[in-house]
Amino acid sequence: MEEKIVVIDNGGQYCHLIATKVRTKHNVYSEILPPNCSVDDVQGAKGIILSGSPFSIYNENKPDFNEKLFSLGIPVLGICYGNYLVASTLGGKVVASEKKEYGLAKLLKKKDSVLLEGCGKEEIVWMSHGDKIVAIPKTFEILGSTENCEFAAIADEKKKIFGVQFHPEVVDTKKGDIILGNFVHKICGCVGEWKISDYIAQKQIELKNEIGKKKVLLLVSGGVDSTVCASLLSKVLAREQLFCLHIDNGLMRKNESAEVKEMLKEIKNFKVVDASKMFLDRLKEKYEPEEKRKIIGQTFIDVANKEIENLGLDDWLLAQGTIYPDTIESGGTKHADVIKTHHNRVDIIKKMIEDKKIVEPVKDLYKEEVRDLGTALGLFENFVWRHPFPGPGLGVRALCSVGKKEEFSVLKEKLNSLGLKYDFDVLPCRSVGVKGDERSYEHPAIISGVWDWKELEKASTRVVNEVRGINRAIYLLPGQSINSMEPIKAYLTKERLDLLREADAIVMGEIEKAGLMRKIWQFPTVLVPVNVNGKGEALILRPVFSTIAMTAKFADLPLEVVESIKKKLLAIKGVGAVFYDITHKPPGTIEWE
């Protein structure tokens, strides 16, 4: 029988990542099941991993959990909320914590254990939680602690039941792969024989069965996800079955649609449609992030349906380059919270999925896996390593507002009470974030002072962890001062988008010139509807390091590169200030909306 690890989906943002890591890093097949699954459902599994969750363990509406999973004699590893399940179900106690913990923490090993074998006395781990264990079950021992979390790793090693408060599945936990590998191989006894070619072969069989003789219209952005989909589908379908469509929505980067057209000109059935007027007309005077995303998603489908009608397709499917973060951040699993609705997960798409009118070849993968898949399929490096660009494009990087003023004296007082050596202010607009697997929509804190990345990182972590109402920290780059900040009425207009396109082009050009394109995962430039010193709107630089997009670290770029970017951006008419986002994910999402 094929080796298998079962991952219990409690709705956590990283649930699928756990399964992916087990499969791709440790070569063991993994299967995701709901928390109320039956004992029969896990028959044959060599181990069980309990995911995180946006719920608290003491909430009445928390997911139903089958406690019999602990009595099967199968090794269990609880992660974050899964750690709470282990503790509370088996006799411990969990309560709400006054001090939340988001970001990096230092794990101190308290006891030698198979689970932490290969870890040093101190290890950097990634935390994202708001509750805490105050008592562990009688048969359990503490394996590791952090400064703010006594029970960061616990175990009943005789029964092979383990719990960790941190997230070993994310790259920010330095020895996370080793810890997961210890559980999968040393505790569960898996050998590990699964490989990427198995996935490609299986996916091609699935696509043939799913599509049959139908025609397929693939929406192609020019990014790696849709390009890999085009490659996979071209190996499965006859040439006359596959049609590729690029929609210029007016929200693209500078000259991007023209570049995509040139890049994909060899595809036989490929067309570019300029629908920018339709998109901008529908987005006129819209400002709420979720509403903007849903309008953009709906309009994509309306344009695609028109082209399907023009092509005369009567038996067809719509193909998308959806990847797993799009699904999970859109609340796409039963217990997941909606962080932000991706354009490929609006209501009409959900209905089409129910009606089996959608095909998504890479929907179960993360960006890193899509790139591996693209390499295995023989795609050119410039395709595989393009920076990710959101489906809604600059529509979620040009923030909008009705210009409403707010009072921030209480927040400023809290920020200044931290006793840090910086000056603080509050940006008079909100951004989307994720805290403990839940959506947040809060204000960014502005930090001013000496330019020192390490000290700024420490300050950012304290700000977002200790001040309620703040989910980001941004740094006012040196050589600037703030005399006034006024929220302004601003929407998605061609003029604002052109300003952002020019700023984005400058940023990308400087990064390419510095040889940093491969090092940086993604570099959004964000236009904020706040007039600074009466000179114009604020721009936010948001470069991040990541591999999977579910977690990210702000990129501490060389000072001379940042200084060059700042000077060129401030020279653009209509730009009043340039800030630098120094927030990790969580709690700040990569995009601001």
Catalytic site positions: 80, 167, 169
Looking up tokens 């489908």 gives 301
Q: Tokens 């503490």 sit at which residue?
A: 142
Q: In 401-518, which ranges are continuous DSSP H helix?
A: 409-416, 453-466, 494-513
Backbone angles phi, psi at 155, to 5 degrees: -165, 145
Categorise residue 145: left if φ over 0, alpha if ψ from -120 to 50, beta otherwise: beta
Cβ contact 493:501 at 8 Å: no
Query: Which residue in the block uniquely carries the two structure tokens 């995911």?
Result: 51
Report the distance separating Cα 293 and Cα 342, nearest Å: 7
Largest CA distance in the chain: 69
Write out the E strands in 449-568: 470-476, 485-487, 489-490, 525-532, 537-541, 544-545, 553-554
Residue with token string 């459902």: 41
CA pair distance 537, 554, nearest whole angstrom? 22
The tokens 């003023």 sit on which residue? 405
Whether 69 and 103 have beta carbons less than 8 Å apart is answered as: no
**Ramachandran assignment for 212, one of left (phi > 0), alpha (psi -120 to 50 degrees), beta (any other):** left
Cβ-count burial 568-580 (b if 16+ within 10 Å, e if not): bbbeeebbbbbbb
Residue position matching structure tokens 């300050």: 459
Which DSSP string corresponds to 61-124?
Answer: TSPP--GGGGGSS--EEEETHHHHHHHHHTT-EEEEEEEEEEEEEEEEE-S--STTTT--SEEE
Sequence-ordered list of residues with C-beta below 8 angstroms from that of 156, at least 6 positions apart, any chain: 90, 137, 139, 140, 141, 162
